[in-house]
């Protein structure tokens, strides 16, 4: 992690623009700790939204981060209803990818960006490709639809 921070600082000091998000900080309002998110979900009786992303190599992932997941209006609205978790699988940060690999295997991730919604007990109730909804309003509408569907079950 220190290497990533050092790399980001060097690029910032040099005045270079970051092309990818591989060394960017975690988005505000998002966690990177799935186990803690599940504990918080149980305590707060709140579902969990997990986004599986390849932040430095996956064009749809990069677009979703820029156009949806980093937007204040998305984070504010989604975090009212969900605990938000980003699990990243960057090619430029082997340590982070290896840390998250067990989750990709456990949840049988077949493509990026995948979103999985879990209830407060940690049971999956929906999954879809995030890029199906490339704008804030469309993504929030999908989340509302999935919550309604869950409540009907």
What residue ranges define each of the domains in the chain, with the CATH number in brackets?
29-120 (3.40.30.10)
Where residue 152 falls among pLDDT bands split at 50, 70, 90?
Answer: confident
Give the whole-angstrom CA distance, residue 58 versus residue 129: 13
Burial category of 108 from C-beta neighbours within 10 Å (exposed 0-12, middle 13-18, buried 19 and up): exposed
pTM of the predicted protein model: 0.83
pLDDT above 90: percentage of residues in the chain: 79
Beta-carbon contacts of 116 under 8 Å, excluding residues fewer than 6 positions away, are: 49, 50, 52, 107, 124, 126, 127
């Amino acid at each position: 992690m220190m290497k990533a921070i050092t790399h980001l600082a060097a690029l910032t000091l040099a005045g270079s623009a970051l092309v990818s998000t591989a060394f960017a900080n975690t988005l505000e309002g998002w966690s990177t700790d799935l186990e803690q998110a599940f504990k918080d979900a149980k305590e707060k009786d709140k579902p969990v939204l997990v986004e599986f992303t390849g932040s430095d190599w996956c064009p749809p992932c990069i677009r979703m981060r820029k156009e949806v997941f980093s937007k204040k209006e998305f984070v504010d609205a989604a975090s009212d209803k969900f605990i938000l978790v980003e699990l990243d699988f960057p090619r430029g940060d082997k340590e982070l990818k290896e840390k998250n690999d067990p989750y990709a295997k456990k949840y049988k991730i077949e493509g990026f960006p995948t979103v999985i919604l879990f209830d407060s007990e940690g049971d999956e109730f929906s999954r879809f490709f995030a890029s199906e909804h490339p704008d804030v309003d469309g993504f929030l509408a999908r989340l509302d639809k999935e919550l309604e569907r869950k409540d009907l079950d």
